[in-house]
Structure 1
Amino acid sequence: MSSSSSSSPASNPADPATKPAEHNQVVADPLAHFKAIPWCAALLSDPAILEIGVPDRRPLPNGGSSLIRKTMNTPTTARACVTFYQLVKPVKPVKPRSSSSSSPSFAGTGEVSPVGAGASAPSGSTKSSRSSKGENKGKKQKKALSASEALLSGGGKQNGEDPRNPFVLFSALVDLGDGCQSFPGIMHGGMHGLLMDEVMGTVANSQSANSAYTVRFTTHYHRAIRLPQILLVRGRVVRKEGRKIYARGTLEDKNGNVMAEGDGVWLAIERRSGQSKL
Protein backbone atom coordinates (compact mmCIF):
# COMPACT_ATOMS: atom_id res chain seq x y z
CA MET A 1 0.00 0.00 0.00
CA SER A 2 1.30 3.47 -0.81
CA SER A 3 2.25 5.82 1.98
CA SER A 4 -0.51 8.26 1.03
CA SER A 5 -3.16 5.58 1.62
CA SER A 6 -1.72 4.08 4.79
CA SER A 7 -1.27 7.49 6.43
CA SER A 8 -4.82 8.69 5.75
CA PRO A 9 -6.54 9.68 9.03
CA ALA A 10 -9.89 8.50 7.65
CA SER A 11 -8.69 4.98 7.00
CA ASN A 12 -10.74 2.12 8.45
CA PRO A 13 -8.95 0.21 11.26
CA ALA A 14 -9.78 -2.93 9.31
CA ASP A 15 -7.75 -1.76 6.30
CA PRO A 16 -5.19 -4.35 5.14
CA ALA A 17 -1.49 -3.64 5.59
CA THR A 18 -0.49 -4.75 2.10
CA LYS A 19 1.88 -3.44 -0.53
CA PRO A 20 1.38 -3.35 -4.34
CA ALA A 21 4.01 -6.08 -4.77
CA GLU A 22 1.93 -8.41 -2.59
CA HIS A 23 -1.19 -8.48 -4.77
CA ASN A 24 -0.10 -7.97 -8.42
CA GLN A 25 -3.36 -6.29 -9.41
CA VAL A 26 -3.37 -3.91 -12.38
CA VAL A 27 -4.10 -0.92 -10.13
CA ALA A 28 -1.13 -0.31 -7.83
CA ASP A 29 -3.26 0.56 -4.78
CA PRO A 30 -6.74 -1.00 -5.11
CA LEU A 31 -7.91 0.26 -1.73
CA ALA A 32 -7.02 3.89 -2.52
CA HIS A 33 -8.61 3.42 -5.96
CA PHE A 34 -12.01 2.53 -4.48
CA LYS A 35 -11.78 5.04 -1.63
CA ALA A 36 -11.48 7.80 -4.24
CA ILE A 37 -14.99 6.86 -5.45
CA PRO A 38 -17.67 8.25 -3.06
CA TRP A 39 -20.13 5.35 -3.02
CA CYS A 40 -17.33 2.80 -2.64
CA ALA A 41 -15.68 4.87 0.08
CA ALA A 42 -18.99 4.96 1.98
CA LEU A 43 -19.17 1.15 1.93
CA LEU A 44 -15.56 0.72 3.02
CA SER A 45 -15.85 3.25 5.87
CA ASP A 46 -18.59 1.26 7.66
CA PRO A 47 -17.29 0.67 11.22
CA ALA A 48 -19.12 -2.67 11.25
CA ILE A 49 -16.62 -4.13 8.75
CA LEU A 50 -14.58 -6.89 10.35
CA GLU A 51 -11.80 -7.05 7.78
CA ILE A 52 -10.84 -5.53 4.43
CA GLY A 53 -8.65 -7.48 2.02
CA VAL A 54 -6.77 -6.87 -1.22
CA PRO A 55 -6.96 -10.17 -3.15
CA ASP A 56 -3.69 -11.76 -4.24
CA ARG A 57 -3.32 -11.95 -8.03
CA ARG A 58 0.25 -13.28 -8.11
CA PRO A 59 0.60 -16.40 -10.33
CA LEU A 60 0.81 -19.73 -8.53
CA PRO A 61 3.72 -22.07 -9.36
CA ASN A 62 1.30 -24.83 -10.41
CA GLY A 63 -0.75 -22.51 -12.64
CA GLY A 64 -3.85 -22.86 -10.46
CA SER A 65 -6.56 -20.18 -10.37
CA SER A 66 -5.21 -18.76 -13.65
CA LEU A 67 -8.69 -17.64 -14.77
CA ILE A 68 -8.89 -15.18 -11.88
CA ARG A 69 -5.20 -14.44 -11.32
CA LYS A 70 -4.28 -14.01 -15.01
CA THR A 71 -7.18 -13.92 -17.49
CA MET A 72 -9.35 -11.69 -15.29
CA ASN A 73 -6.41 -9.59 -14.06
CA THR A 74 -5.98 -7.15 -16.96
CA PRO A 75 -6.70 -3.44 -17.68
CA THR A 76 -9.87 -4.39 -19.63
CA THR A 77 -11.28 -7.14 -17.38
CA ALA A 78 -10.97 -6.82 -13.56
CA ARG A 79 -8.32 -4.20 -12.97
CA ALA A 80 -8.98 -3.70 -9.26
CA CYS A 81 -10.68 -5.62 -6.45
CA VAL A 82 -11.04 -5.33 -2.68
CA THR A 83 -13.07 -7.50 -0.31
CA PHE A 84 -14.66 -7.05 3.13
CA TYR A 85 -16.63 -8.98 5.76
CA GLN A 86 -19.68 -8.06 7.84
CA LEU A 87 -21.86 -9.91 10.38
CA VAL A 88 -25.53 -10.72 9.82
CA LYS A 89 -27.98 -11.69 12.58
CA PRO A 90 -29.75 -15.03 12.06
CA VAL A 91 -33.40 -15.03 11.00
CA LYS A 92 -35.87 -17.77 11.90
CA PRO A 93 -36.70 -20.00 8.90
CA VAL A 94 -40.19 -20.64 7.58
CA LYS A 95 -41.47 -23.91 6.16
CA PRO A 96 -40.95 -24.21 2.39
CA ARG A 97 -44.08 -24.14 0.26
CA SER A 98 -43.18 -27.39 -1.44
CA SER A 99 -41.15 -30.29 -0.10
CA SER A 100 -39.72 -30.75 -3.59
CA SER A 101 -37.93 -27.40 -3.46
CA SER A 102 -34.17 -27.83 -3.45
CA SER A 103 -33.48 -24.29 -2.24
CA PRO A 104 -33.76 -23.33 1.43
CA SER A 105 -36.70 -21.08 2.36
CA PHE A 106 -36.28 -18.40 5.00
CA ALA A 107 -38.17 -15.56 6.61
CA GLY A 108 -38.36 -12.38 4.62
CA THR A 109 -36.69 -9.24 5.88
CA GLY A 110 -33.29 -10.40 7.02
CA GLU A 111 -32.46 -8.57 10.28
CA VAL A 112 -28.94 -7.25 10.00
CA SER A 113 -26.44 -6.17 12.64
CA PRO A 114 -25.37 -3.54 13.31
CA VAL A 115 -26.89 -1.80 10.30
CA GLY A 116 -30.03 -3.28 8.80
CA ALA A 117 -33.79 -3.49 8.71
CA GLY A 118 -35.76 -5.08 11.54
CA ALA A 119 -37.79 -8.26 11.01
CA SER A 120 -41.38 -7.79 9.89
CA ALA A 121 -44.22 -8.37 12.32
CA PRO A 122 -46.13 -11.68 12.05
CA SER A 123 -49.56 -11.72 10.42
CA GLY A 124 -52.45 -10.92 12.76
CA SER A 125 -50.43 -8.50 14.89
CA THR A 126 -51.95 -5.33 13.46
CA LYS A 127 -52.16 -3.61 16.83
CA SER A 128 -48.53 -4.32 17.66
CA SER A 129 -47.50 -3.22 14.20
CA ARG A 130 -49.35 0.08 14.52
CA SER A 131 -47.91 0.62 17.99
CA SER A 132 -44.42 -0.08 16.70
CA LYS A 133 -44.91 2.36 13.85
CA GLY A 134 -45.99 5.00 16.34
CA GLU A 135 -42.97 4.43 18.53
CA ASN A 136 -40.62 4.54 15.56
CA LYS A 137 -42.19 7.67 14.08
CA GLY A 138 -39.58 10.32 13.66
CA LYS A 139 -36.74 7.83 13.98
CA LYS A 140 -34.48 7.28 10.99
CA GLN A 141 -34.77 3.74 9.65
CA LYS A 142 -31.49 1.91 9.22
CA LYS A 143 -30.77 0.78 5.69
CA ALA A 144 -30.40 -2.94 5.04
CA LEU A 145 -27.02 -4.13 3.84
CA SER A 146 -28.60 -5.48 0.66
CA ALA A 147 -31.94 -5.27 -1.14
CA SER A 148 -31.84 -9.06 -1.50
CA GLU A 149 -33.88 -10.57 1.33
CA ALA A 150 -32.75 -14.08 0.43
CA LEU A 151 -29.11 -13.11 0.90
CA LEU A 152 -29.68 -11.72 4.40
CA SER A 153 -32.02 -14.49 5.57
CA GLY A 154 -31.17 -17.87 7.05
CA GLY A 155 -28.44 -18.66 9.49
CA GLY A 156 -28.80 -19.42 13.18
CA LYS A 157 -28.43 -22.68 15.06
CA GLN A 158 -31.49 -24.14 13.32
CA ASN A 159 -29.67 -23.75 9.99
CA GLY A 160 -26.39 -25.26 11.17
CA GLU A 161 -24.57 -22.01 11.98
CA ASP A 162 -21.82 -22.28 14.56
CA PRO A 163 -21.45 -19.02 16.56
CA ARG A 164 -17.69 -19.63 16.60
CA ASN A 165 -17.70 -19.55 12.77
CA PRO A 166 -20.68 -17.38 11.77
CA PHE A 167 -22.23 -17.06 8.32
CA VAL A 168 -20.64 -13.71 7.50
CA LEU A 169 -21.61 -11.49 4.58
CA PHE A 170 -18.61 -11.42 2.24
CA SER A 171 -18.49 -8.61 -0.33
CA ALA A 172 -16.17 -7.62 -3.16
CA LEU A 173 -15.86 -4.39 -5.12
CA VAL A 174 -14.68 -5.18 -8.65
CA ASP A 175 -13.79 -2.62 -11.34
CA LEU A 176 -14.78 -4.30 -14.63
CA GLY A 177 -13.85 -3.19 -18.14
CA ASP A 178 -15.21 -3.84 -21.64
CA GLY A 179 -13.12 -7.00 -21.95
CA CYS A 180 -15.99 -8.75 -20.12
CA GLN A 181 -18.70 -7.82 -22.63
CA SER A 182 -20.76 -9.88 -25.09
CA PHE A 183 -23.10 -7.45 -26.89
CA PRO A 184 -21.42 -4.03 -27.21
CA GLY A 185 -21.35 -2.42 -23.77
CA ILE A 186 -23.16 -5.31 -22.07
CA MET A 187 -21.50 -7.78 -19.70
CA HIS A 188 -21.38 -11.40 -20.87
CA GLY A 189 -23.95 -13.59 -19.13
CA GLY A 190 -21.31 -16.06 -18.05
CA MET A 191 -19.57 -13.36 -16.05
CA HIS A 192 -22.53 -13.15 -13.67
CA GLY A 193 -22.04 -16.73 -12.57
CA LEU A 194 -18.24 -16.44 -12.49
CA LEU A 195 -18.24 -13.46 -10.14
CA MET A 196 -20.88 -14.83 -7.77
CA ASP A 197 -19.40 -18.33 -7.79
CA GLU A 198 -16.02 -16.97 -6.70
CA VAL A 199 -17.52 -14.98 -3.82
CA MET A 200 -19.98 -17.68 -2.77
CA GLY A 201 -17.26 -20.30 -3.06
CA THR A 202 -15.11 -18.24 -0.70
CA VAL A 203 -17.77 -18.25 2.03
CA ALA A 204 -18.44 -21.95 1.42
CA ASN A 205 -14.73 -22.66 1.88
CA SER A 206 -14.82 -20.76 5.16
CA GLN A 207 -17.37 -23.26 6.45
CA SER A 208 -15.17 -26.27 5.69
CA ALA A 209 -12.00 -27.39 7.47
CA ASN A 210 -10.26 -27.74 4.11
CA SER A 211 -12.33 -26.58 1.15
CA ALA A 212 -15.59 -27.17 -0.71
CA TYR A 213 -16.54 -27.66 -4.35
CA THR A 214 -19.61 -26.55 -6.25
CA VAL A 215 -22.36 -29.15 -6.67
CA ARG A 216 -25.07 -26.89 -8.06
CA PHE A 217 -25.18 -23.22 -9.01
CA THR A 218 -28.12 -21.23 -10.43
CA THR A 219 -28.01 -17.69 -11.78
CA HIS A 220 -31.09 -15.46 -11.79
CA TYR A 221 -30.70 -12.52 -14.20
CA HIS A 222 -32.61 -9.33 -13.33
CA ARG A 223 -31.04 -6.53 -15.38
CA ALA A 224 -28.44 -6.11 -18.08
CA ILE A 225 -25.10 -4.91 -16.72
CA ARG A 226 -23.39 -2.17 -18.73
CA LEU A 227 -19.61 -1.90 -18.92
CA PRO A 228 -17.29 -0.45 -17.84
CA GLN A 229 -18.69 -0.43 -14.32
CA ILE A 230 -17.80 -1.13 -10.71
CA LEU A 231 -19.91 -3.93 -9.25
CA LEU A 232 -20.54 -4.97 -5.68
CA VAL A 233 -20.50 -8.77 -5.49
CA ARG A 234 -21.91 -10.32 -2.32
CA GLY A 235 -22.08 -13.86 -0.97
CA ARG A 236 -23.19 -15.59 2.20
CA VAL A 237 -23.82 -19.11 3.49
CA VAL A 238 -27.45 -19.41 4.64
CA ARG A 239 -27.61 -23.06 5.69
CA LYS A 240 -25.34 -25.98 6.45
CA GLU A 241 -26.41 -29.63 6.62
CA GLY A 242 -23.59 -32.06 7.27
CA ARG A 243 -21.21 -31.67 4.33
CA LYS A 244 -23.73 -29.67 2.29
CA ILE A 245 -23.25 -25.89 2.35
CA TYR A 246 -26.02 -23.70 0.90
CA ALA A 247 -24.99 -20.21 -0.26
CA ARG A 248 -26.59 -17.21 -1.94
CA GLY A 249 -25.08 -14.28 -3.80
CA THR A 250 -25.86 -11.03 -5.58
CA LEU A 251 -24.46 -8.59 -8.13
CA GLU A 252 -25.34 -5.02 -7.16
CA ASP A 253 -24.67 -1.62 -8.72
CA LYS A 254 -23.74 1.68 -7.07
CA ASN A 255 -27.40 2.45 -6.32
CA GLY A 256 -28.00 -0.86 -4.55
CA ASN A 257 -29.99 -2.35 -7.43
CA VAL A 258 -29.77 -6.15 -7.50
CA MET A 259 -28.67 -6.91 -11.05
CA ALA A 260 -28.49 -10.68 -10.57
CA GLU A 261 -28.83 -13.28 -7.82
CA GLY A 262 -27.31 -16.70 -7.41
CA ASP A 263 -27.91 -19.70 -5.20
CA GLY A 264 -26.11 -22.99 -4.96
CA VAL A 265 -24.85 -25.93 -2.97
CA TRP A 266 -21.23 -26.69 -2.10
CA LEU A 267 -19.91 -29.94 -0.68
CA ALA A 268 -17.20 -29.85 1.98
CA ILE A 269 -14.34 -32.24 1.28
CA GLU A 270 -12.15 -33.92 3.87
CA ARG A 271 -8.78 -33.77 2.12
CA ARG A 272 -6.77 -30.63 1.51
CA SER A 273 -6.89 -29.12 -1.97
CA GLY A 274 -6.33 -25.83 -3.75
CA GLN A 275 -8.90 -23.15 -2.94
CA SER A 276 -10.02 -20.43 -5.32
CA LYS A 277 -10.52 -17.21 -3.37
CA LEU A 278 -11.69 -13.95 -4.89
Structure 2
Amino acid sequence: MEQNSSLVEATRHFKSIPWCAALLERPSVITFTPTSRLPEDPTGHSPSQDQLFRKTLNNADTVPHCIGFYESPASSNLDIEASPSTPLGPPSQLGLQLLINSSSLIFDLRPGVNGYNGTAHGGFVSSLIDEAMGSLIFINHQVQIREEAQGRRLPRGVLDLNNVRFFTASMTVRFLKPLPTPQTVVVTASLNRIEGRKMSLDVTVKDEHQVEFARCDGLWMSLPKEKM
Protein backbone atom coordinates (compact mmCIF):
# COMPACT_ATOMS: atom_id res chain seq x y z
CA MET A 1 0.00 0.00 0.00
CA GLU A 2 1.10 3.61 -0.48
CA GLN A 3 3.61 4.70 2.16
CA ASN A 4 2.14 7.93 3.57
CA SER A 5 4.13 9.86 6.17
CA SER A 6 1.95 8.59 9.03
CA LEU A 7 2.66 4.96 8.09
CA VAL A 8 6.40 5.60 7.72
CA GLU A 9 6.58 7.21 11.16
CA ALA A 10 4.48 4.51 12.83
CA THR A 11 6.49 1.74 11.16
CA ARG A 12 9.75 3.27 12.36
CA HIS A 13 8.45 3.51 15.92
CA PHE A 14 7.04 -0.01 16.21
CA LYS A 15 9.98 -1.66 14.45
CA SER A 16 12.20 -0.17 17.15
CA ILE A 17 10.35 -2.46 19.62
CA PRO A 18 11.66 -6.00 19.07
CA TRP A 19 8.44 -7.93 19.66
CA CYS A 20 6.47 -5.52 17.43
CA ALA A 21 9.13 -5.77 14.74
CA ALA A 22 8.77 -9.57 14.84
CA LEU A 23 5.06 -9.17 14.06
CA LEU A 24 5.46 -6.60 11.31
CA GLU A 25 8.46 -8.10 9.51
CA ARG A 26 6.89 -11.46 8.71
CA PRO A 27 6.93 -11.98 4.92
CA SER A 28 3.16 -12.36 4.66
CA VAL A 29 2.28 -9.24 6.67
CA ILE A 30 0.99 -6.04 5.08
CA THR A 31 0.84 -2.84 7.14
CA PHE A 32 -1.64 0.01 6.81
CA THR A 33 -2.68 3.25 8.45
CA PRO A 34 -6.04 2.97 10.24
CA THR A 35 -8.67 5.14 8.62
CA SER A 36 -8.82 7.45 11.66
CA ARG A 37 -5.10 8.25 11.30
CA LEU A 38 -5.04 8.85 7.55
CA PRO A 39 -3.86 12.43 6.92
CA GLU A 40 -6.05 15.07 5.37
CA ASP A 41 -5.45 15.86 1.72
CA PRO A 42 -4.27 19.35 0.63
CA THR A 43 -7.89 20.56 0.49
CA GLY A 44 -8.48 19.53 4.11
CA HIS A 45 -10.64 16.53 3.18
CA SER A 46 -10.42 13.50 5.47
CA PRO A 47 -11.31 9.88 4.63
CA SER A 48 -13.58 9.89 7.69
CA GLN A 49 -15.03 12.46 10.07
CA ASP A 50 -13.22 10.88 13.02
CA GLN A 51 -11.85 13.45 15.47
CA LEU A 52 -11.20 11.23 18.50
CA PHE A 53 -8.25 9.19 17.20
CA ARG A 54 -7.13 11.62 14.49
CA LYS A 55 -6.84 14.68 16.76
CA THR A 56 -7.90 14.31 20.40
CA LEU A 57 -5.89 11.14 21.06
CA ASN A 58 -3.07 11.89 18.62
CA ASN A 59 -0.45 13.35 20.96
CA ALA A 60 2.50 12.35 23.15
CA ASP A 61 0.32 11.96 26.25
CA THR A 62 -2.33 9.59 24.87
CA VAL A 63 -1.84 7.54 21.65
CA PRO A 64 1.13 8.95 19.72
CA HIS A 65 1.54 5.93 17.44
CA CYS A 66 -0.79 3.41 15.82
CA ILE A 67 -0.40 0.97 12.94
CA GLY A 68 -2.52 -1.74 11.35
CA PHE A 69 -1.45 -5.05 9.85
CA TYR A 70 -2.95 -8.18 8.32
CA GLU A 71 -1.87 -11.38 6.64
CA SER A 72 -1.84 -11.10 2.86
CA PRO A 73 -4.86 -12.94 1.42
CA ALA A 74 -4.00 -16.00 -0.67
CA SER A 75 -3.70 -15.12 -4.34
CA SER A 76 -6.15 -17.91 -5.11
CA ASN A 77 -8.85 -15.85 -3.39
CA LEU A 78 -8.78 -13.31 -6.19
CA ASP A 79 -9.55 -14.70 -9.62
CA ILE A 80 -10.10 -12.63 -12.76
CA GLU A 81 -12.84 -15.05 -13.72
CA ALA A 82 -14.28 -17.40 -11.12
CA SER A 83 -14.56 -20.86 -12.58
CA PRO A 84 -17.93 -22.64 -12.32
CA SER A 85 -16.04 -25.61 -10.91
CA THR A 86 -14.59 -23.55 -8.06
CA PRO A 87 -15.18 -25.39 -4.76
CA LEU A 88 -16.72 -22.29 -3.20
CA GLY A 89 -20.42 -22.91 -2.77
CA PRO A 90 -23.26 -20.39 -2.67
CA PRO A 91 -23.21 -18.02 0.33
CA SER A 92 -26.36 -19.69 1.67
CA GLN A 93 -24.39 -22.92 2.12
CA LEU A 94 -20.97 -21.73 3.25
CA GLY A 95 -21.75 -18.34 4.78
CA LEU A 96 -20.27 -15.09 3.49
CA GLN A 97 -16.63 -14.34 4.27
CA LEU A 98 -14.33 -11.34 3.94
CA LEU A 99 -11.25 -11.15 1.77
CA ILE A 100 -9.30 -10.56 4.99
CA ASN A 101 -11.00 -12.26 7.92
CA SER A 102 -8.71 -10.85 10.61
CA SER A 103 -6.60 -7.72 11.10
CA SER A 104 -4.82 -6.11 14.03
CA LEU A 105 -3.94 -2.65 15.29
CA ILE A 106 -0.91 -1.92 17.46
CA PHE A 107 -1.38 1.01 19.84
CA ASP A 108 1.26 2.94 21.78
CA LEU A 109 -0.66 3.87 24.94
CA ARG A 110 0.42 6.64 27.31
CA PRO A 111 -0.82 7.58 30.81
CA GLY A 112 -3.11 10.26 29.37
CA VAL A 113 -5.65 7.49 28.65
CA ASN A 114 -5.82 6.35 32.28
CA GLY A 115 -8.96 6.28 34.39
CA TYR A 116 -9.61 6.46 38.12
CA ASN A 117 -7.36 3.58 39.18
CA GLY A 118 -4.34 4.66 37.15
CA THR A 119 -4.81 2.10 34.37
CA ALA A 120 -6.39 2.56 30.94
CA HIS A 121 -9.97 3.81 31.23
CA GLY A 122 -12.53 1.09 30.44
CA GLY A 123 -14.36 3.35 28.02
CA PHE A 124 -11.11 4.04 26.24
CA VAL A 125 -10.35 0.30 25.97
CA SER A 126 -13.78 -0.10 24.37
CA SER A 127 -12.85 2.62 21.90
CA LEU A 128 -9.71 0.69 20.93
CA ILE A 129 -11.89 -2.35 20.27
CA ASP A 130 -14.35 -0.37 18.16
CA GLU A 131 -11.46 1.12 16.20
CA ALA A 132 -10.06 -2.35 15.45
CA MET A 133 -13.44 -3.60 14.20
CA GLY A 134 -13.92 -0.59 11.95
CA SER A 135 -10.39 -0.99 10.61
CA LEU A 136 -11.07 -4.59 9.59
CA ILE A 137 -14.01 -3.47 7.47
CA PHE A 138 -12.07 -0.47 6.14
CA ILE A 139 -9.05 -2.46 4.98
CA ASN A 140 -11.27 -5.08 3.34
CA HIS A 141 -12.92 -2.38 1.26
CA GLN A 142 -9.56 -0.84 0.38
CA VAL A 143 -8.18 -4.19 -0.80
CA GLN A 144 -11.36 -4.88 -2.80
CA ILE A 145 -11.09 -1.50 -4.55
CA ARG A 146 -7.44 -2.10 -5.39
CA GLU A 147 -8.01 -5.61 -6.71
CA GLU A 148 -11.00 -4.58 -8.84
CA ALA A 149 -8.91 -1.75 -10.30
CA GLN A 150 -6.51 -4.44 -11.54
CA GLY A 151 -9.31 -6.33 -13.27
CA ARG A 152 -9.94 -8.91 -10.57
CA ARG A 153 -13.36 -9.66 -9.13
CA LEU A 154 -14.53 -11.07 -5.84
CA PRO A 155 -14.88 -14.83 -5.64
CA ARG A 156 -18.22 -16.34 -4.73
CA GLY A 157 -18.89 -16.33 -1.02
CA VAL A 158 -17.03 -13.07 -0.30
CA LEU A 159 -19.01 -10.04 0.85
CA ASP A 160 -19.09 -7.14 -1.64
CA LEU A 161 -18.46 -3.93 0.33
CA ASN A 162 -18.92 -1.49 -2.53
CA ASN A 163 -22.62 -0.81 -2.05
CA VAL A 164 -23.02 -1.15 1.73
CA ARG A 165 -21.85 0.71 4.79
CA PHE A 166 -21.47 -0.83 8.25
CA PHE A 167 -21.98 0.69 11.68
CA THR A 168 -21.54 -0.59 15.22
CA ALA A 169 -24.79 -2.02 16.60
CA SER A 170 -23.58 -3.49 19.90
CA MET A 171 -20.46 -4.44 21.85
CA THR A 172 -20.25 -6.91 24.72
CA VAL A 173 -16.89 -6.17 26.34
CA ARG A 174 -15.36 -8.29 29.09
CA PHE A 175 -12.58 -6.60 31.03
CA LEU A 176 -10.23 -9.37 32.15
CA LYS A 177 -7.30 -7.43 33.66
CA PRO A 178 -6.43 -3.80 34.34
CA LEU A 179 -4.33 -2.40 31.50
CA PRO A 180 -1.36 -0.44 32.88
CA THR A 181 0.32 2.34 30.90
CA PRO A 182 2.65 3.15 29.28
CA GLN A 183 2.00 0.01 27.29
CA THR A 184 1.97 -1.27 23.73
CA VAL A 185 -0.98 -3.52 22.91
CA VAL A 186 -2.27 -5.46 19.93
CA VAL A 187 -6.01 -5.32 19.29
CA THR A 188 -7.14 -8.04 16.88
CA ALA A 189 -10.57 -8.13 15.22
CA SER A 190 -11.66 -11.35 13.51
CA LEU A 191 -14.78 -12.26 11.58
CA ASN A 192 -17.07 -14.68 13.40
CA ARG A 193 -19.95 -14.85 10.91
CA ILE A 194 -22.14 -12.85 8.54
CA GLU A 195 -25.89 -13.40 8.62
CA GLY A 196 -27.95 -11.16 6.39
CA ARG A 197 -27.24 -7.56 7.43
CA LYS A 198 -25.43 -8.67 10.60
CA MET A 199 -21.67 -9.09 10.91
CA SER A 200 -20.38 -10.62 14.16
CA LEU A 201 -16.76 -9.97 15.14
CA ASP A 202 -14.50 -11.28 17.90
CA VAL A 203 -11.89 -8.91 19.35
CA THR A 204 -9.01 -9.35 21.80
CA VAL A 205 -6.67 -6.86 23.49
CA LYS A 206 -3.25 -8.37 24.32
CA ASP A 207 0.28 -7.35 25.22
CA GLU A 208 3.63 -8.72 24.04
CA HIS A 209 3.33 -11.75 26.36
CA GLN A 210 -0.16 -12.64 25.08
CA VAL A 211 -1.71 -11.45 28.35
CA GLU A 212 -5.34 -10.73 27.52
CA PHE A 213 -6.78 -7.55 29.01
CA ALA A 214 -10.18 -7.52 27.31
CA ARG A 215 -12.27 -9.37 24.75
CA CYS A 216 -15.39 -8.37 22.90
CA ASP A 217 -18.27 -9.83 20.93
CA GLY A 218 -19.12 -7.09 18.46
CA LEU A 219 -22.14 -6.78 16.19
CA TRP A 220 -22.14 -4.55 13.12
CA MET A 221 -25.10 -3.86 10.85
CA SER A 222 -25.12 -2.92 7.20
CA LEU A 223 -27.19 -0.42 5.26
CA PRO A 224 -27.25 0.18 1.51
CA LYS A 225 -24.85 2.98 0.64
CA GLU A 226 -27.62 5.25 -0.61
CA LYS A 227 -29.35 5.18 2.80
CA MET A 228 -26.29 6.37 4.74
Give TM-score, length-normalised by structure 2. 0.72
Paired residues in the alignment total 185
Residue aligning to 2:32: 53
For 1:159 and 1:257, locate their aligned partners in 2 and report how far apart those are by CA, in whole Å. 33
The DSSP-based 3-state class of the residue aligned with 1:185 is coil
Residue aligning to 2:102: 169
For 2:94 and 2:131, locate their aligned partners in 1 and report how far apart those are by CA, in whole Å. 23
By how many angstroms is 1:272 displaced? 5.4
Work out which of the two has the higher radius of gyration on C-alpha atoms and give 1 or 2.
1
- Asked if the contact 2:70/2:100 (under 8 Å) is kept, the reply is no
Matched, 1:31 2:11: yes
Pick from 100, 104, 116 the counterpart of residue 183 of structure 1: 116
More strand by share: 2
Matched, 1:195 2:149: no
For 2:226 and 2:106, locate their aligned partners in 1 and report how far apart those are by CA, in whole Å. 29
Residue aligning to 2:205: 251
By how many angstroms is 1:64 displaced? 1.5
By how many angstroms is 1:19 displaced? 3.9
For 1:81 and 1:177, locate their aligned partners in 2 and report how far apart those are by CA, in whole Å. 12
Please show how residues 114-193 of structure 1 align to structure 2 within 5 Å. Answer: 160-162=95-97, 165-183=98-116, 185-193=118-126
Letter in 2 for 1:72: L
For 1:228 and 1:77, locate their aligned partners in 2 and report how far apart those are by CA, in whole Å. 9
For 2:136 and 2:93, locate their aligned partners in 1 and report how far apart those are by CA, in whole Å. 19
- Asked if the contact 1:204/1:245 (under 8 Å) is kept, the reply is no
By how many angstroms is 1:54 displaced? 2.8
Matched, 1:264 2:218: yes
For 2:131 and 2:214, locate their aligned partners in 1 and report how far apart those are by CA, in whole Å. 14
For 2:191 and 2:94, locate their aligned partners in 1 and report how far apart those are by CA, in whole Å. 10
For 1:69 and 1:37, locate their aligned partners in 2 and report how far apart those are by CA, in whole Å. 23
1:8-47 CA distances to partner (integer Å, 9 max, x unpaired)? xxxxxxxx54242xx3x8xx71101110111000111122
Kindly report the root-mean-square deviation, in angstroms, between the aligned alpha carbons of the 2 structures. Answer: 2.8
For 2:213 and 2:73, locate their aligned partners in 1 and report how far apart those are by CA, in whole Å. 21
1:55-114 CA distances to partner (integer Å, 9 max, x unpaired)? 33435648810111111111111100111112799xxxxxxxxxxxxxxxxxxxxxxxxx
* Distance change in 2, residues 1:158/1:181 (3 Å): farther
Matched, 1:74 2:59: yes
For 2:181 and 2:211, locate their aligned partners in 1 and report how far apart those are by CA, in whole Å. 15
After TM superposition, what 4+ stretches of structure 1 lie above 6 angstroms from structure 2? none
The DSSP-based 3-state class of the residue aligned with 2:96 is coil
* Distance change in 2, residues 1:161/1:255 (3 Å): same
* Distance change in 2, residues 1:52/1:220 (3 Å): same
Give TM-score, length-normalised by structure 1. 0.59
- Gaps of at least 5 residues in structure 1 are 1-15, 90-155
Letter in 1 for 2:18: P
Letter in 1 for 2:96: E
Q: Bigger CA drift: 195-204 or 261-270?
A: 195-204
Amino-acid identity (%): 29
Letter in 2 for 1:53: F
For 1:68 and 1:48, locate their aligned partners in 2 and report how far apart those are by CA, in whole Å. 27
The DSSP-based 3-state class of the residue aligned with 1:29 is helix
For 2:124 and 2:45, locate their aligned partners in 1 and report how far apart those are by CA, in whole Å. 26
For 1:203 and 1:273, locate their aligned partners in 2 and report how far apart those are by CA, in whole Å. 22
For 2:206 and 2:31, locate their aligned partners in 1 and report how far apart those are by CA, in whole Å. 19
1:107-156 CA distances to partner (integer Å, 9 max, x unpaired)? xxxxxxxxxxxxxxxxxxxxxxxxxxxxxxxxxxxxxxxxxxxxxxxxx9
The DSSP-based 3-state class of the residue aligned with 1:78 is coil
Letter in 1 for 2:21: A
